[in-house]
C-alpha cells in the first residue's frame, strides 16, 4: 500500500493506545468526529477492520493487533528522526508491564525495578503479581516471568537459568520439633499445605515424601502467604533458595532430599523488536534474574 497518510496512521495508533476515540482526540488536539473519520479512512484504505466498537471503547481486532506493532515502529522511527534532526539523543520512557508469580513479584523484582529506575528514570515498570499465565498476545502484559516454556510461536522467549528450591522451616519450629533431614523424618513432621484439592500433597509424594493430609497444619494457595506461614513457625514449606537465603530466621531442613529444579523464562511479544523501552526492561530482568543473590 503506497502513500500512507501519516495523520491517519497517528489516529490509528493513538486510538489503539488509549482504547477510546475521545481520549485519542484529546491527545492529538482534534475533534472526535475528525479523528473518527481518520480511523475510518485508514480502515477503508487498507481494506480491513482495525477496531471493534464495544460501547464507547475501541477494541483492536486481530488484524489491528498485528498492524499495531508496525505502527508503533513507524511512530518510534518518526520520533527518533525528529530527535536526530534536533541533535538530541533518543530518550527512553513510558510504562512497561511485567507479569510474574506472587513470590517473584514480591521478593525478586523490587530490587531489579529499583536498579532500573536509577539507570532509566523515564521508564515506569508496572508489576503484575499473578500466578496465572498472562496472555501476552492480547497485551495483558509486555513481559512475563514464567516457569514453563511458552508454546506460542509468536512469542519471544529466553531461558534465563535453572533455579532451585529446597524445604525450609523457621528457627523456632526447628528448636521445638527438631531438624528433620530425611524423607523418613518427614513422616512425623508438620507442613504448610498449598491447596486442599490434593495437588500439593501429590507433588510432595512424587518428591519422595510419603505424607498425608494429617501432616498439614494449615493451607495457603499463594506463595507469599504460604511463606509467611512457614516463617511464623506453622511448619515446613518449599521456597526458591535465593528467597530463603534472604529471609531471616529460616533454616533449611530435609537436607537429604534433592533440590526442586525449575526454569526461569523471560517472555515477550513481538513488540520487543521495535520498542526500545521494552528491550531495556527485558535485558534488565534477564541480568537481574540471572544472578542468584
Mean pLDDT over residues 113-138, rounded? Answer: 82
Q: Please tell me the least confidently modeled range out of 43-57, 112-126, 140-154, 159-173.
A: 140-154
- Torsion sign (Cα): 13, 18, 22, 28: negative
* pLDDT at residue 89, rounded to an integer: 43
Is the pLDDT at 116 greater than 60? The verdict is yes
- Average predicted confidence (pLDDT) for the chain: 87
Residue 278 C-alpha cell reads as 521494552
- The fold adopted by the segment(s) 163-262 is D-Maltodextrin-Binding Protein; domain 2 (3.40.190)
What digits encode the pLDDT tens for the residues 156-207? 889 999 999 999 999 999 999 999 999 999 999 999 999 999 999 999 999 8
* pLDDT at residue 155, rounded to an integer: 80
In the chain, where the domains are located: 6-85, 94-157+266-290, 163-262
Asked if the domains 6-85 and 163-262 are classified in one and the same CATH topology, the answer is no
Mean pLDDT over residues 46-57, rounded? Answer: 86
Mean pLDDT over residues 71-98, rounded? Answer: 66
What digits encode the pLDDT tens for the residues 133-149? 555 545 578 899 998 88
Q: Are 105 and 288 in contact (CB under 8 A)?
A: no
Q: Please tell me the least confidently modeled range out of 42-56, 98-112, 115-129.
A: 42-56
Cβ-count burial of 26 within 10 angstroms (0-12 exposed, 13-18 middle, 19+ buried)?
Answer: middle
What digits encode the pLDDT tens for the residues 235-257? 999 999 999 999 999 999 999 99
* pLDDT at residue 254, rounded to an integer: 97
* pLDDT at residue 84, rounded to an integer: 52
* pLDDT at residue 68, rounded to an integer: 83
Show the CA angle centred on residue 123, arms to residues 117 and 126, nearest 5°.
Answer: 90
Is the pLDDT at 287 greater than 90? The verdict is yes
Mean pLDDT over residues 54-74, rounded? Answer: 83
DSSP, residue by residue, 64-84? HHHHHHHHHHHHHHHHHHHHH
User: Which among 64, 68, 257, 282 has a CA at the least distance from the CA of 156?
Assistant: 282
* pLDDT at residue 87, rounded to an integer: 44
- The fold adopted by the segment(s) 94-157+266-290 is D-Maltodextrin-Binding Protein; domain 2 (3.40.190)
CATH class of 6-85: mainly alpha
* pLDDT at residue 136, rounded to an integer: 53
Amino acid at each position: 500500500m503506497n502513500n500512507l497518510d501519516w495523520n491517519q496512521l497517528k489516529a490509528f495508533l493513538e486510538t489503539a493506545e488509549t482504547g477510546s476515540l475521545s481520549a485519542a482526540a484529546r491527545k492529538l488536539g482534534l475533534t472526535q468526529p475528525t479523528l473518527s473519520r481518520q480511523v475510518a479512512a485508514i480502515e477503508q484504505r487498507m481494506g480491513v477492520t482495525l477496531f471493534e466498537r464495544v460501547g464507547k471503547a475501541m477494541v483492536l481486532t486481530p488484524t489491528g493487533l498485528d498492524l499495531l506493532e508496525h505502527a508503533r515502529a513507524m511512530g518510534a522511527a518518526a520520533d527518533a528522526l525528529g530527535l536526530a534532526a534536533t541533535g538530541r539523543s533518543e530518550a527512553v520512557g513510558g510504562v512497561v508491564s511485567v507479569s510474574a508469580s506472587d513470590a517473584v513479584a514480591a521478593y525478586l523484582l523490587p530490587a531489579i525495578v529499583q536498579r532500573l529506575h536509577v539507570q532509566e528514570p523515564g521508564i515506569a515498570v508496572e508489576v503484575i503479581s499473578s500466578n496465572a499465565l498472562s496472555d501476552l498476545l492480547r497485551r495483558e502484559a509486555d513481559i512475563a516471568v514464567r516457569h514453563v516454556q511458552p508454546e506460542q510461536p509468536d512469542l519471544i522467549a529466553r531461558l534465563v537459568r535453572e533455579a532451585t528450591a529446597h524445604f525450609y522451616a523457621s528457627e523456632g519450629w526447628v528448636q521445638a520439633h527438631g531438624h528433620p533431614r530425611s524423607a523418613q523424618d518427614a513422616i512425623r513432621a508438620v507442613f504448610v499445605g498449598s491447596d486442599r484439592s490434593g495437588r500439593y500433597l501429590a507433588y510432595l509424594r512424587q518428591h519422595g515424601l510419603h505424607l498425608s493430609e494429617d501432616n498439614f497444619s494449615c493451607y495457603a494457595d499463594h506463595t507469599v502467604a504460604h511463606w509467611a506461614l512457614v516463617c511464623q513457625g506453622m511448619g515446613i514449606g518449599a521456597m526458591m533458595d535465593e528467597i530463603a537465603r534472604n529471609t531471616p530466621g529460616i533454616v533449611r531442613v530435609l537436607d537429604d532430599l534433592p533440590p526442586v529444579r525449575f526454569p526461569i523464562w523471560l517472555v515477550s511479544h513481538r513488540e520487543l523488536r521495535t520498542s526500545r523501552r521494552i528491550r531495556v526492561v527485558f535485558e534488565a530482568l534477564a541480568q537481574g534474574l540471572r544472578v542468584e543473590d
